[in-house]
Amino acid sequence: MPFGPDCAVPNLTTSTDAPVLAFESRLLERAAEIEAWFRRQWQVTPPPFYASVDLRNAGFKLAPVDTNLFPAGFNNLNPAFEPLCVQAIQSAFERIMPSACDVLLVPESHTRNRFYLESVALLQELIRKAGYRVELGSPRSDLHGPETMKLDSGRELVLQPLLRDDDRVSIERFTPCVVLLNNDLSGGRPAILENLSQPVIPPLALGWSNRSKTQHFTHYRDVAREFGALLEIDPWWVDPLFRNCGQINFKTGDGEECLASNVDLLLQDIRAKYGEYGVKEEPFVIVKADAGTYGMGVLTVRNGEDVRKLNRSARKKMTATKEGREITGVIIQEGVYTFERWVEEPRFSESLSGSAESLLGLKGATAEPVVYMIDHFVVGGFYRVHAERGIQDNLNAPGASFRPLAFAEAGNCPDLRCGPHEHPNRFYAYGVVARLALLAAAREVAQALLHESLQSGRVARAVA
């Protein structure tokens, strides 16, 4: 292995005296069954083209807290796993569209974030290495010709305006056979991408203009139940409890009473679970915009009163999310402690994360794993690390300026000769739980496609 032991895995420091559950051991013992189960699931419901899943590891619980169908941090992955991404991209396209050759990649429209641009450039490079021609097209209305951007990595992006001809989208001198979205459509579904004869993946219906976290976690709850039955474990070990409030206006205060009482009900349920497992920590919940993204519109709450006494700045923060989208519904999700932290200063080879300097001062920092998947394959991930944030905090909040630390291992190689907490197996556990969230997303996609085809009275051409 190119990386020595302990070099890039935070320690699990459960500050609680609750027993660390036997979850990871169970995963290892039953790995063959788990993988067979996943294989059957992907036959029934094909996986999305790609996804990233944010996890939180409390030791007694390992759960997803967010699933992104337009992953935006490919630049944070370990470059050693590029071949794995390339192979998975080949598998994904072969499954979805065996004849595909030319791919149009549609990135986010707010293209000034240099980290995001690096991610897009890398994704384009990976698709090219997989053996496809791939160009970038943007639905931005202010784009009238090619726009070239030079990136810090030395890579270059050329963004071109989309052209529409009958039922086909193209850019100048390039008509793709498939459109790959890396744009979460928070700003709405671009008309130029509607009703195409080319497949759009993921389908437009999966952008945040249609999607809701409540839908996703409702599917996830089912998945966790089925998985719990398979492994004979309490699904709660992998499933964050949640409730939702559909009608809320933080500006006027409408619906806040509903929110406060739901917060209290959810805290009661969490407290009961903590009691069952002897967890001594204080329960908390996270209130998030139901259609939100990018860590915007997120509150950490410890009781219903917190909601009733929101100050002006918190209220403002909760009124709108990305691209000014108004928040009208929220999901109230069980807060999952993150008990992973670097006990020692992490040591890395420089190649892993740019400069070694940026890694200083991380002793004691909390870490939130983010797992990347292409098709049904786990292809790596990274830790969001933030030295100044607490174990209850959201590490993806605006201004949180987390530092990404690439996973040292790929997450698809459980090692039965190691203990359940040794790192190949820690990464395997991440990969299993992340794939549960991927399966929930797959069901979401299937449902959205069914819904669209019923609405339009035709079979949607877009595929998963």
Contact between 79 and a second copy per CB under 8 A:
yes
Contact between 176 and a second copy per CB under 8 A:
no
Please, which of residues 397-426 interact with a second copy by CB under 8 A? 409-417
Q: Closer to a second copy at the Cβ: 63 or 86?
A: 86
Determine the distance from the C-alpha atom of residue 443 to the mean position of all C-alpha atoms in its chain, rounded to a whole number: 16
From 93-101, 205-213, 215-223, 274-282, give the range in contact with a second copy by CB under 8 A. Answer: 93-101
Residue of the chain from 98, 324, 399, 457 that contacts a second copy (CB under 8 A): 98
Alpha carbons 94 and 84: distance in angstroms, whole number: 15
Alpha carbons 281 and 335: distance in angstroms, whole number: 11
Contact between 81 and a second copy per CB under 8 A:
yes
Contact between 252 and a second copy per CB under 8 A:
no
Residue of the chain from 7, 18, 21, 128 that contacts a second copy (CB under 8 A): 128
Taking each continuous run of H as one helix and of E as one strand, the counts in the chain are 9, 19
Minimal CA–CA distance to 190: which of 236, 139, 152, 225? 139
From 125-133, 179-187, 219-227, 264-272, give the range in contact with a second copy by CB under 8 A. Answer: 125-133
Contact between 173 and a second copy per CB under 8 A:
no
Kindly state the smallest distance separating residue 84's Cβ from a second copy, in Å: 5
b/e string for 369-393 if b means 16 or more Cβ within 10 A? bbbbbbbbbbbbbbbbbbeebebbb
Alpha carbons 419 and 430: distance in angstroms, whole number: 15
Residue of the chain from 6, 29, 110, 133 that contacts a second copy (CB under 8 A): 133
Kindly state the smallest distance separating residue 40's Cβ from a second copy, in Å: 8
Alpha-carbon Rg for the chain in angstroms? 22
Contact between 217 and a second copy per CB under 8 A:
no
Three-state DSSP at 316 gives helix
Contact between 36 and a second copy per CB under 8 A:
yes
Alpha carbons 325 and 306: distance in angstroms, whole number: 24
Which segments within 208-314 are labelled E, that is strand? 242-245, 285-289, 298-301
Kindly state the smallest distance separating residue 165's Cβ from a second copy, in Å: 23
Is 76 in contact with 382 (CB distance < 8 Å)? yes
Residue 222 backbone phi and psi in degrees, to 5? -60, -45
Kindly state the smallest distance separating residue 442's Cβ from a second copy, in Å: 16
Kindly state the smallest distance separating residue 131's Cβ from a second copy, in Å: 2
From 29-37, 195-203, 340-348, 443-451, give the range in contact with a second copy by CB under 8 A. Answer: 29-37
Positions that interact with a second copy (CB under 8 A): 1-3, 31-32, 34-36, 38-39, 43, 79-84, 86-88, 90-91, 94, 98, 101, 128-133, 154, 349, 351, 377, 409-417
